[in-house]
Structure formats: structure tokens, C-alpha cells
Amino acid sequence: MTRRAALLAAVAVPLSACSAGTTGSEAAPADPDRLVRELAAEAERVMISRYRATAEAHPDLEAELAAFIARHERHLDAMLATIAPTADEPGTEPGASEVTPDDVPVSRADAITALREAETEHAAARIDDSVTSYDYELARVLASVAACESAHEYLLGEIA
């Protein structure tokens, strides 16, 4: 099966590189998608904080944004699920780049536009990540997340 062969090939090179460069003690197989997984998870955290900050700054949007936040929380869970549980390092912890209500535009329409722009940017980044992922299932998850965010961009336009 091509998939298995490709995955084995992906771990073979880093493993041999490790044994040549280190003491040869047990090294975890390198994950070439590690950075993509962590950055995507971090991007979801920032997105959730952006929605929460927007709902706080514009309480009249709170009810409508709840479903968007719930979907982003599922994206975050999906990204965290692809990060190996043993790889519990600082990279998987919440980052500092949270959005606060002070960052949200005062005008309701501008606040929605800011969310739309963030979704568009996000979707494009996840598509790029999906195209370059080594892990095929990660590619599927990233493509699905990007698809939901493209739909969000449309749905936010209906609110405005």
C-alpha cells in the first residue's frame, strides 16, 4: 500500500540521522508534521479568542457567534488529537497571542469583517498545510478545517 510505504519512508530518514548524530539511545521517531500540527492548534486558539473577544465587545453578536466558536473548538480538539500525547512540550500550551476585546473594532460591521478576514486567511493557510503534510490523515483533517472556515467566511457575510 502506497500510504504505508510513504509513512515508513518518512520516519526512516530522521531515525538514521538520529543514530548517527546522537549517543544512539532510544530516540522517538521524528515527526516532519510536528510544526504544522502545533501551529494549526495555536492558530485555532487564537481564532477562538478572537471570536470570544468579539462576542464580549459586541454582546448582540454573542448568540450568533456561539456556533462558530463551537466549531472552532472542535477544530482545536481535532488538531490536538493529531499531536502525539507523549509529545507534551511547551509548543502545545496556549500561546500569548490572544485577542482581547480591546483589539475588536468598535463598529459591529467592522468587527464581523475582521472575523471574515481572519477566516479567509486561516482557510488559505490550512489549505497550504494540507497540501504539504506528510501524514495523509492530517492532510484530510486540515482540508476539512479549511473547508469549514471557508463556509464560515460565507456565513459571517450573511450576519452582516
Partner 1 sequence: MSALDALQAALAGEHACIYGYGVVGGNLPDEQVDAAREALQTHRSRRTPLAEQIRLRNGEPVAAFPAYELPFPVEDAGSARELAALLEQRLATIYADVVALSNLGGVRRLATTALAESAQLTARWTGDITAMPGIDPAPQPL
Q: Contact positions toward partner 1, by CB under 8 A?
A: 2-3, 6, 70-71, 74-75, 78, 123, 127, 130-132, 136-137, 139-155, 158
Q: How far apart, in whole angstroms, are the C-alpha atoms of residue 122 and residue 100?
A: 19
Sign of the torsion angle spanned by Cα atoms 101, 107, 113, 116: positive
* DSSP structure string for 87-99: ---GGGS--S---
Cell numbers found for residue 64? 450568533
- Smaller CB separation from partner 1, 58 or 75: 75
Q: How far apart, in whole angstroms, are the C-alpha atoms of residue 66 and residue 62?
A: 6
The least distance separating partner 1 from the CB of residue 61, rounded to whole angstroms, comes to 17
The least distance separating partner 1 from the CB of residue 94, rounded to whole angstroms, comes to 20
The least distance separating partner 1 from the CB of residue 136, rounded to whole angstroms, comes to 5
- Smaller CB separation from partner 1, 27 or 46: 46
The least distance separating partner 1 from the CB of residue 124, rounded to whole angstroms, comes to 9
Cell 500525547 sits at which residue? 85
- Smaller CB separation from partner 1, 18 or 113: 113
- Smaller CB separation from partner 1, 114 or 141: 141
Q: How far apart, in whole angstroms, are the C-alpha atoms of residue 95 and residue 52?
A: 16
